[in-house]
Amino acid sequence: MGVAKHEKDRVPAIGRRWAAAWTTGDTRDLARLYTKDAVYTDRAVNLVFRGPEGVEEWETGSHQLIQNLRFEATGGFRGRDGVVVEGVFSGHIVGAPRPFAVPLVTVLRLRGDLIQSSNDYYNRTEILSDSGLPADWTPPGS
């Protein structure tokens, strides 16, 4: 337990705020962390959202599709203008037989104290497998 706690202590503050904002239920919490011209990219599903409004749209849609959505930051580091956050992405896709929990890495590029861009990296196939869904599953209405 001491090692895990030590790793969490190394997550830069903006990374901890980013992870916590995903679980507040208020989509504005996450959007407030981004610049007006921010770009949020989810590499696993190849979607791009722009500005705080786009970030809010992405989080709202994610919470509609995934119940109990969480991101637990477990490690990370900061460079001059960026932060890498490592963690566990978990939740339960609506209608799926089981919940999932998979590793996720997010790269945050900063401008001052705000996020100018973020890129999420995780294995979509692993989420579907953990959830008991077929590899070619797509969300309803897509």
pLDDT digits (tens, 9 = 90+) for 67-116: 999 999 999 999 989 999 999 999 999 999 999 999 999 999 999 999 99
Residue 94: burial class (beta carbons within 10 Å; 0-12, 13-18, 19+): exposed
Give the pLDDT band of residue 23 (cuts 50, 70, 90): confident
Q: What is the mean pLDDT of residues 26-37?
A: 93
Q: How far is CA 122 from CA 50, 53, 127, 141, in A?
A: 20, 23, 9, 23
Q: Is the pTM of this model over 0.95?
A: no
Please name which of 108, 100, 101, 102 lies closest in space to residue 76, comparing C-alpha atoms: 108
